[in-house]
Structure 1
Amino acid sequence: MDLRDATWTDVRDCETDLAVVPVGSTEQHGPHAPLGTDVVAAQAVADAGLEQFDRDVVRAPAIPVGVAEEHRQFPGTMWVSEDTFRNYVREAVESLAHHGFDRVVIVNGHGGNVDALREVGGTITRSGEAYAVPFTWFEAVGEHSAEMGHGGPLETALLRHCEPELVRENRIDEASAGGADSWGEWVSYSNLAYDAAEFTENGVVGDPKDGDEQRGAELLELAADALVRLLEAVAERDVSRPEGR
């Protein structure tokens, strides 16, 4: 059930305790991909997983702004602090739990959200309000994960499969030529760069030319399959907290 389209009486009559919350970001993704790439990806993976899952699940509206100050030099990028983001996600999940949807998978599309989401999942779960687990789609696509980048092959491929009209195909060569090979500037296992503009001229990391529609279809299938397995585990898990040792 998609909360955006449901009425309150539909929700009242829905017999499930499972919910999915897509979370993304509004930030630059190079000259060829939209600012909302991470939201599109999170929603697409959430919807594809729910189509395969054989139980009722409530699908919340996507949270579109995340932890993305590292892209602040690129116009259009929006961000909030980690504290604001954690509080917002926590309270959104708690509102779902108030209505009985207290097993929640947070489907994430943005790398900058990962650490904050793991922390907020632990906070929610330990408080007893709900059981919340973050799921980041590009960590769940097997060998492809190593090529994640930013506005690179994976995100471009997924866009070409899910919403191809959003990709500025006439700018792919520009995106490829101005992109960086890898994320950050690493010395002694430490990243010297805090902002993306320090190591990528146009915001791209990786080569979007390597992300065709067929690869996007494979990525969506892999991510959706992984999400289904996670939903099954969350649905069946004993979520009571362990006793003190």
Structure 2
Amino acid sequence: MAEQGEARQIRLKGQLVEYSLQRRARRTLGLRIDARGLVVSIPQRVSIAQAELFLVERADWVLSKLAEWATRPKPASFDVADGIHFPMLGQRCRLQLSHGQPGADWVQGIDSRELHLRLRARENPRTALLRTIQHYALGYFGGRIEEYAWALQQSVPGIQLPRLALTNARTRWGSCSRISGIRLNWRLIHLPNAQIDYVVAHELAHLVEMNHSARFWQVVELMYPDHREAQAALREAHKIIPAW
């Protein structure tokens, strides 16, 4: 989705506010506030001075929303140890740690799963778990991109399967470039399938329209008709994703 922008600060009614400034192929200025903070999206030709005037004019709303998010409970970080639970694809997953030949086995149940993770001697469990989750995410995301790219090709012939890489970004779920391909935030793997599929469809649609025009959303809807519901659910992702 949107690329990570320039980190900036502005004083609104005496309060110093940090925000991310993103230049986008759009016609109007936009604001977004969620668990990751304040994001200001502006057209390419709009100046920083104009963007900050836009913020000043909406200072009451911005400060109110930031205060609201500040009072919401933050996801608790967890100590990686045998028997802990963490979310995978929206399901509860139990971690079973042991030592021996390094490896990982995912055991799928009806509504839950287990990860049997074998560690080297003196290997950091947190590092091993993170590596294992990211490896799983790369394979899972790749499969979803293949499926949705195939669906897109039925309506837009000539679309090539993009390269995939993971990102550790804090302020975006994904990004797309016709040159470098698609990058997806590995933390998405904690969320339900529907939300992951929406992000995949969103980024693939950028191969057709590198903007968020009406035509872009038509392409998204072609691949993922329930995109509005998934997009709304993503705003609550902070309640699910562990604080790594």
TM-score, structure 2 normalization: 0.25
More strand by share: 2
Structure index of larger Rg = 2
More helix by share: 1
* Larger RCO (CA within 8 A; separation ≥ 6): 1
TM-score, structure 1 normalization: 0.25
